[in-house]
Amino acid sequence: MSRAHATVSEIIRSRRSIRHYLPDPVPEDLLNDLIELALEAPSSFNLQARSIVVVTAEAGREALVEATGGQPHPREAPVMLVFVAESGAWREDRADVWEQARRCGAWSARFAAASPDDVRAFHEEPQRRGLERELAVKDAMIAASFLMIAAHAAGLATSPMNGWDEAKVKAAVGIPFRDDLHIALLLPLGRPAESRLHPGRRDRSLTVFREAYGR
């Protein structure tokens, strides 16, 4: 096992979800680095149909406390990250994405030129089935997972939050009337004010199967 693999393994195995945070601010350069790492996450067609709203002001965090039914994370953590899924991204002009991929040599000119039509063709069926939101949320959740691992490696804590009112969260981050935007996850970020033990995981025989579910 390489040292890099051992380090990644250790980080993943030791990360815990933290509910209480110290008020210490997160250095701006570190925050920017973590966000950059989150945005490195893969996305369907490299469409990058997800954004991150960084909330640090007290008023914004208090609005998120209200949106989460009084949970302590938004009030205590110095940074709240709101991951927004953009279900309408496939209809938008993403020429910057195609051009950048072509310019850096990751995509051929032919592949880049065909991408807008390919993206539309791919999304038309999910649109008919009402699955646009689901596709975008998947991309946002992958980005959030990247950030959780990177934050732990940097000595910071996070906790993927459930139990929030989406309409209130959207209002708190300035998108109350955007039906094409959805809240994928709320993620507090800061230095931990508590430690948590590993609660354990179910036996692999109950959760990992070969070739078919349950086998």
Range of the domain at 161: 20-194
In a domain, 215, yes or no: no
Is the pLDDT score of 2 beyond 80?
no
pLDDT in tens, 31-62: 999 999 999 999 999 999 999 999 999 999 99
pLDDT classification of 1: cutoffs 50, 70, 90: low
In a domain, 5, yes or no: no
Domain at 148, CATH number: 3.40.109.10
In a domain, 89, yes or no: yes
pLDDT classification of 183: cutoffs 50, 70, 90: very high
pLDDT in tens, 103-150: 999 999 999 999 999 999 999 998 899 889 999 999 999 999 999 999
pLDDT at 135: 92
Q: Rounded to 5 degrees, what angle do the CA atoms 200, 78, 48 make?
A: 75
Half-sphere exposure of 21 (CA within 13 A, CB side): 27
pLDDT above 90 covers a percentage of the chain that reads 93
In a domain, 87, yes or no: yes
CB 34 within 8 A of CB 150: yes
* Residues 129, 97: Cα–Cα separation, whole Å: 26
Total domain count, the chain: 1
Nearby residues of 50 by Cβ (< 8 Å), 6 or more positions away: 43, 83, 84, 85, 86, 136, 139, 140, 143, 184
Residue 70, both tokens: 């009084």
In a domain, 210, yes or no: no
pLDDT at 17: 96
- pLDDT average, residue stretch 61-69: 97
In a domain, 204, yes or no: no
Q: pLDDT averaged over the chain?
A: 95
In a domain, 213, yes or no: no
In a domain, 122, yes or no: yes
Cα torsion for 139, 142, 147, 152, to the nearest 10°?
170
